[in-house]
Chains A and B, each alone.
Chain A
Amino acid sequence: MSADRTAVLSRQAAGSPPAAPPGTTGRTPRPDDRRSRRLFLIGMLAPMTVLLLAFTVYPFVSVLVNSLRHNNLTRPDEQGFAGLTNFANTVGEPGLLRALLLTVGMVLVAVVAEFALGTLAASLLWRPLRGSRLYLALLVLPFGATPVAAYLSWRLMLNPDGGQINAALAAVGLPTPGWTSEPMLAVVALVVVDIWQWAPFITLVMLAGLKSLPDETFEAAALDGASALQRLVRIALPMLKPLVAFVVTIRAIDAVRTFDSIWIITGGGPGAATETLVVRIYRTAFNDLHIGEASALGLLLLVVLFIVGKRFAAPALQRLEH
């Protein structure tokens, strides 16, 4: 966005009349025009402002207030200001660091794998391919499926005792792992489910990006002898760098918040093997009824997401804008 246009928009937002284009004689708007413009702006902004206040600002303030209060629903008589006690209690809990590291680890592995597989699939669909429409339709299914039903199906398929996956492995004489009962395998299983669900999303986004690139560049590169892989890695991906940064960041933030798949497939188990930060927050709030501590944990998660967003998402958005 150019500086001139930014200036124009900010003047408009402030209710000032737009500057007259150079070389013309601008008419000074009458007060009625200004009022109607202001009403128009208010009318356009009001619905979103109300929604933001109700569903973002209010919950955030509420979480902030709760994190500083004794708010344990099992002890309704013990309410009041708690200072940083909730933060101290949650940080001092054994398992918090583990949950944090597990969250980071799962997100890293899942997002990298999703990006690699998603981009690979997008590159295959980039050029005309027989049946590509069918492939595209199939790609939408995983993240278009009803999540809870899909995860419940995964849970039953992954069941070490009688699940379809182990039944298939046993049928061909292969070992039958304890997918959801062995701590490390349970983590792997959840990452695989996440990849199954979200790699297609990255495929679609990357495909849209690839299709927006000028054909001439790649035709010239092909004439110069660049292979398909080189054209993808050395030309297309650098050209799509802002989009890549954006989609990876958005997916990472979303992956940090993953809850339903973990809760349904493993319940955070076996033991606490798959208890991520979000599962921990849920358990603290809805099982233990420690709303104050859950709020403190929620704020910690927000800080993590803010750092990720500030470091990666904001620069990517700026580049996309340019």
Chain B
Amino acid sequence: MRHEASFRLSRRGLLTSALGVGGALALGACASREGDTGTPSATTGTQTLGASDMQWDRFKGETLNLLLCEHWWTSAVSKRFPEFEALTGMKIKANTLSEDSYYQQALVALSSGATTYDALMVGNLQAGQYMNAGWLEPLDSYFGGSGLVNADWFDTDDFFAPARKASSLNGELMALPLSAEAGVVIYRKDLAAQAGVTAFPTQESLVDASAKLSAAMERPFAGRGRRGLDIVWTWTNYFLTQGGEFYNGNTPTVDSPEAVAATELYVQQLLTKYGPKGASNMSWLEATGSVNEGRAALYTDASGLLSVVLDKNSSKHTDQIAVSRWPDSAAAKAAPNYWYWMAGIPKASRKKEQAALFYAWAMSKETATSVSAESGSPSARESVWSNEDFLSFYPGDMSTEIVANLQAVQPDRVPYARPTFPSEADALSLELIKVLVDGKDPKRAMADAAAAMARAGR
């Protein structure tokens, strides 16, 4: 048992908003965030950015079109756009969409080769598709020492090394990571103490902990089981930590003993035996609901979801929530899965330099720190994680656990950069769900999954 805290994140009424239908009648109900006052903090700004020794007003009078996805970073940074406009004399037009709509819009905009967007957010899973398709502008020439951005001041090395790697193709930076999440164990410390659960030394010990917690509640474990990346994302934490690899060359290897062990552990034991009723249709939305409403006490998912689990508006037990880094397995060291939101420039953009200047401001240490300190957004900049204001969102040494996890991420082992991975992950998810819903033998399911992934990647 490692770190615990009574969280005081005060935003993210996503769950509340979604349930509260009424005025939040929109898919992107994830916009209601308490604490967003609309008043930019005085701590960032032009003085510090002025020390960047850059000519910020070189594109004065021009307008930048942005495509953004609803996210806590988006919400926080959008409120600071007036600062950027004052600094540069440029105007920003941002189209912020809910996640599903955003992915469609981004795909259409990028694949058409004639987009009107000058800069856009990039999802981790889609990054590989976009990079390999040649839709994103390489960024080294903008942030690696051009006359446009002061490279020493911007300091791309400050981004977590795994995040930098995940944002690159063949060693070239194709996007800038803006938020960083990794798999963690979230649990109720009060119930764990009652059940005599004091630590999670291995991921196998989660089964034992669930068994003990089941004395207090019928189904103490929560996790995602919905088709697609939902179930695959969580499963990947267990799979990598078992020592599994997705491919040998181009051949899927999810029929390995490690994959079978991960499936037995996560799907067959934790989800089926101790997981919530209806796990096969659960995304993070339902899974966090189980935790927030006190129906589950143990939850493995992305650290970014702490914002939901610890939101006092939607959770009844925020004071009792604790976090532990991803445990090792009996076979290998912990290798948590990850998710980075990134920011890129479309190759077809007609204002690439202007977009780069925008990122130089939006993703500078100064703005990233202010945005994170104000909103709790888990920045991909390592320096932000030593800022006292930001860390106050993660009381105790919870942040130490999260940072340890972020540093333990091994991006090479998760094939997000593989353009066919979304289809292959979907094929894999179907077999995992057969284990969950139909009780299919994990060994057979994983053999079928490997074959299905090979077909999907054809």
Residues of A participating in the B interface, judged by any CB pair closer than 8 Å: 73-76, 145-146, 148-150, 152-153, 156, 159-162, 176, 178-183, 186, 263-264, 266-272, 283, 286-290
Contacts and interface: CB of A to CB of B under 8 A. Distances in A.
23 contacts: A73-B111, A149-B25, A149-B27, A150-B25, A153-B21, A156-B19, A156-B285, A159-B282, A160-B277, A160-B278, A162-B276, A181-B278, A181-B279, A181-B437, A266-B281, A267-B227, A267-B228, A270-B436, A271-B437, A286-B103, A286-B104, A287-B422, A289-B129
B429 to A, nearest CB: 8
B134 A76 contact: yes
Given A149-B27, A161-B277, A181-B282, 14 more contacts: A73-B133, A74-B132, A74-B420, A152-B29, A153-B18, A156-B285, A159-B282, A161-B289, A267-B228, A268-B227, A269-B226, A270-B227, A271-B430, A271-B433
A271 B227 contact: yes
B112 to A, nearest CB: 11
Interface of B: 18-19, 21, 24-27, 29, 100, 103-104, 107, 111, 129, 132-134, 219, 225-228, 276-283, 285-286, 289-290, 293, 295, 419-420, 422-423, 426, 430, 433-434, 436-437, 456
Given A272-B430, A286-B104, A148 B281 contact: no
B26 A159 contact: no
Contact of B26 (A146, A271, A290): A146
B277 A178 contact: yes
B420 A269 contact: no
Contact of A161 (B228, B278, B422): B278
A74 B129 CA distance: 6
Nearest to A290: B423
B21 A149 contact: yes
Name the 8 nearest CB pairs between A and B, nearest first: A160-B278, A149-B25, A74-B419, A181-B278, A270-B280, A161-B276, A269-B227, A288-B423
Contacts, number: 126
Contacts of A266: 281
B278 A159 contact: yes
B419 A75 contact: yes
Contact of A162 (B29, B133, B279, B295): B295
B281 A180 contact: yes
A74 B277 contact: no
B336 to A, nearest CB: 24
A73 B278 CA distance: 35
Query: Among the interface residues B430, B434, B456, which one has the most CB atoms of the partner chain A within 10 A?
Result: B430
A52 to B, nearest CB: 22
A160 B434 CA distance: 18
Contacts of B282: 159, 161, 181
B422 A288 contact: yes
B423 A287 contact: yes
Contacts of A181: 225, 277-282, 437
Contact of A149 (B24, B278, B456): B24
